[in-house]
């Protein structure tokens, strides 16, 4: 690993093919300074990032490519969406999306290694693929990036050049748990037993679920990501002190970042490990909590599209639902509001018109109750959804639609 200045980055990009593919750390670890330097040096290129946040280069000449659409790409006319389960995204780099440049955000070196810190995800596979092709790995080395273990650690020999920065890591704003989210969180929490293994995302409902679990004991974490709620569980004594906390990326407060720094209990693993359904299925009492934009009377969920346009993607939902359902005592929960406040429509609909993201979770939980799904016949599933999860204002309409669909 050779340290250079930002203005020297164009000099290491010579010899790239026309319209090269640049893979960059996504989520909340994007190496802004290094990426801006790459962007200034390349008139045209494909930018591949997972769950890109606002502020990425978005101009003529840049093709924005992803398997999970974040707010930094969502409304761009240059977006190219590649449908894929998250567990399979790393395979894309050796099949249809070979990278020419990988730009990562790392810790400072320690004993011949740097750490990918709060974002591992698809990056190890991208680094392996670009090294095999003779491409370039650029590291933005940041003294503020925590040093995390597991697949986060990479040898400095795998990095061609590094640029040094001193940049604060992003943190979420104060999360307000409203009454509806709190009610949903309480309902989900009642389904979680001592000794369960948890997978949750970020947001008001996941935070509300975690707040309701502080009285549990022996909880484990095997998740695509986690935030400050896990730290609160640890402080409350709810976590199994002997179990490793497994995740693929993190997003939280400076306090969380300080807690994970060189913490051997936390292992950040590559996506094809954290999201592998067979490994998820091995976790005791695996409890997967995800959300959706819509659920229909066939218990199909749409978590990906709005009015025909891609909103996010499959993400890890399909991986974790399958894995949790195969775990002994496991369960896959979809938690969502019964009514979409912005669109002013019911989230429980007769039949989804969008491409389906997932189906047949264990239960659908809203502020009005828990609709049991798995193991019931299709008429019972529809009855549970209408009676126990739908907003009261649409139940009569849903019963009418259910009869037309021969589900009632």
Residue 330: predicted pLDDT = 97
Residue 173: predicted pLDDT = 82
The answer to whether 224 and 247 are in contact (CB under 8 A) is yes
Beta strands 345-346; 348-349: pairing state? unpaired
Which of 255, 254, 342 lies closest to 293, judged by CA? Answer: 342
The tens digit of pLDDT for each residue in 209-222 reads: 999 999 999 999 99
Residues written for the chain: 408
- In order of 200, 209, 306, 365, 394, the CA distances from 401 in angstroms are 33, 32, 22, 21, 11
- Tell me the pLDDT band of 175, cut-offs 50, 70 and 90: confident
The answer to whether 106 and 29 are in contact (CB under 8 A) is no
Residue 201: predicted pLDDT = 77
Beta bridge partners of 254: none
- Tell me the pLDDT band of 176, cut-offs 50, 70 and 90: confident
Residue 206: predicted pLDDT = 87
How many other C-beta atoms are found inside a 10 Å radius of the C-beta of residue 374?
Answer: 13
Instruction: Please enumerate in sequence order all residues whose Cβ is within 8 A of that of 351, keeping only pairs 6 or more positions apart, or say none.
Output: 296, 297, 298, 401, 405
Find out if CATH 3.40.1080.20 is the number for domain 179-404.
yes
The tens digit of pLDDT for each residue in 307-349 reads: 889 999 989 999 999 999 999 999 999 999 999 988 899 999 9
Residue 183: predicted pLDDT = 96
Residue 207: predicted pLDDT = 86
Residue 377: predicted pLDDT = 96
Domains of the chain: which residue ranges? 2-165, 179-404
Q: Supply the residues annotated as catalytic.
A: 224
Same topology, domains 2-165 and 179-404? Answer is yes
Span of 5-14, 55-64, 116-125, 198-207 with lowest mean pLDDT: 198-207
Distance CA 30, CA 366 (A): 34
Residue 341: predicted pLDDT = 87
The answer to whether 249 and 223 are in contact (CB under 8 A) is no
Please state, for a pLDDT cut of 70, what percent of the chain lies above it: 100
Whether the predicted pLDDT of 202 surpasses 80: no
- Domain 2-165's class? alpha beta
């Amino acid at each position: 690993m050779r340290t250079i200045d930002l203005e020297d980055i164009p000099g290491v990009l010579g010899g790239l093919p026309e319209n090269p593919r640049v893979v960059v750390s996504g989520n909340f670890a994007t190496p802004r300074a290094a990426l801006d330097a790459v962007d200034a040096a390349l008139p045209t290129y494909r930018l591949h990032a997972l769950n890109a946040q606002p502020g990425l280069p978005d101009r003529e000449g840049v093709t924005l490519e992803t398997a999970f659409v974040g707010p930094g790409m969502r409304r761009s006319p240059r977006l190219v969406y590649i449908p894929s389960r998250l567990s399979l995204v790393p395979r894309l780099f050796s099949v249809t999306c070979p990278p020419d440049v990988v730009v990562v955000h790392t810790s400072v070196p320690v004993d011949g290694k740097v750490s990918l810190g709060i974002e591992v995800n698809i990056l190890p596979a991208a680094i392996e693929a670009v090294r095999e092709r003779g491409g370039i790995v650029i590291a933005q080395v940041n003294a503020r990036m925590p040093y995390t273990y597991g697949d986060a650690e990479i040898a400095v020999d795998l990095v061609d050049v590094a640029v040094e920065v001193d940049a604060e890591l992003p943190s979420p704003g104060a999360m307000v748990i409203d009454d509806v989210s709190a009610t949903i969180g309480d309902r989900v929490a009642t389904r979680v037993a001592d000794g369960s293994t948890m997978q949750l995302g970020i947001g008001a409902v996941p935070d509300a679920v975690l707040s309701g679990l502080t009285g549990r004991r022996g909880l484990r974490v095997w998740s695509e990501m986690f935030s400050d709620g896990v730290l609160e569980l640890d402080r409350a004594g709810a976590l199994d002190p002997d179990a490793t906390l497994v995740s693929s990326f993190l997003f939280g407060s400076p306090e969380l970042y300080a807690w994970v720094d060189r913490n051997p209990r936390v292992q950040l693993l590559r996506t094809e490990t954290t999201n592998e359904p067979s490994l998820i299925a091995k976790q005791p009492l695996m409890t997967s909590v995800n959300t959706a934009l819509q659920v229909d009377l066939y218990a199909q969920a749409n978590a990906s599209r709005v009015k025909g346009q891609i909103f996010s993607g499959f993400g890890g939902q399909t991986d974790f639902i399958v894995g949790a359902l195969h775990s002994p005592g496991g369960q896959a929960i979809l938690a969502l509001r019964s009514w979409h406040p912005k669109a002013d429509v019911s989230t429980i609909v007769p039949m989804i018109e969008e491409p389906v993201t997932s189906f047949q979770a264990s239960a659908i939980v809203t502020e009005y109750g828990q609709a049991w799904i798995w193991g019931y016949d299709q008429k019972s599933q529809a009855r549970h959804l209408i009676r126990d999860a739908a907003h009261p204002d649409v139940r009569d309409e849903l019963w009418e639609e259910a009869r037309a669909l021969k589900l009632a």
